[in-house]
Chains A and B, each alone.
Chain A
């Protein structure tokens, strides 16, 4: 499936590095999401953007900084991460917000390892 793409697929970074994760959706959707998937924990919603405005920030530490320059692209800027931030970061998009427009389509994820 190529509806939602994420790059890079794998990333290893040190705690002092700065890196960015990129997500792009080709579905004409207006809402985009960042999730964190850690081992043995349910998916955690991090951020929600709707029409390029951040509408939800679920108490995520400031070392994670999202950016949504347009409705097709979403970034997650990372700096001074901790080893416990190692996880699979998933991007998703949906047509909009509200009932049947909420069906979310996911990208393949970026597997992040913080050393």
Chain B
């Protein structure tokens, strides 16, 4: 079945760019998602990309998809302290099930 991997932790300085990486195994994945979870809260949908796209930009967020390497990344420009959270990569498999990574904890230092 699908397996989704993320690094556990990222620390950046306020104002820098953050890049959170994700790899997956199922090449038939159709939609790929990024969710954000703040402490004590549920998952907030940030953005998603369809598998026939290479890049999607939405304000400070840029999603890059490398289908050949099965690699997805989320870049946050001008990272703010309010961006501190856990970021989950999720991939829809061939049976329309969302498979989540374990999440990357982003810490933004003032």
Q: A99-B30, A103-B31, A106-B35 are in contact. Are A43 and B100 (CB under 8 A)?
A: yes
> Would A106 and B43 count as touching, CB distance under 8 A?
yes
Q: Which residues of A contact B87 (CB under 8 A)?
A: none
B97 CB, min distance to chain A CBs, angstroms? 7
Which chain A residues (49-65) contact chain B, with CB distance < 8 Å?
Answer: 56
Report the nearest A residue to B30, measured CB to CB.
A99
Interface residues of B in 23-51 (CB under 8 A from A): 30-31, 33, 35, 40-45, 48, 50
Size class of B's contact patch?
Answer: 20 to 34
Pick the residue among B30, B44, B103 that contacts A1 (CB under 8 A).
B44
Q: Of A43, A99, A102, A107, which one neighbours B88 at CB under 8 angstroms?
A: A43
Cβ of B92 under 8 Å from chain A: yes
* Shortest distance between the CB of B40 and any CB in chain A (Å): 8
- Chain A contacts for B99, CB-based, 8 A: 42
Residues of B within 8 A of A106 (CB): 35, 42-45
Contact A103 B42 (CB under 8 A): no
Any A CB within 8 A of the CB of B102: yes
- A97 and B96 contact, Cβ closer than 8 Å, known pairs A42-B101, A103-B48: yes
User: Which 9 residue pairs across A and B have the least CB separation, nearest first?
Assistant: A106-B43, A106-B42, A108-B42, A43-B100, A109-B42, A42-B100, A42-B102, A107-B42, A102-B96
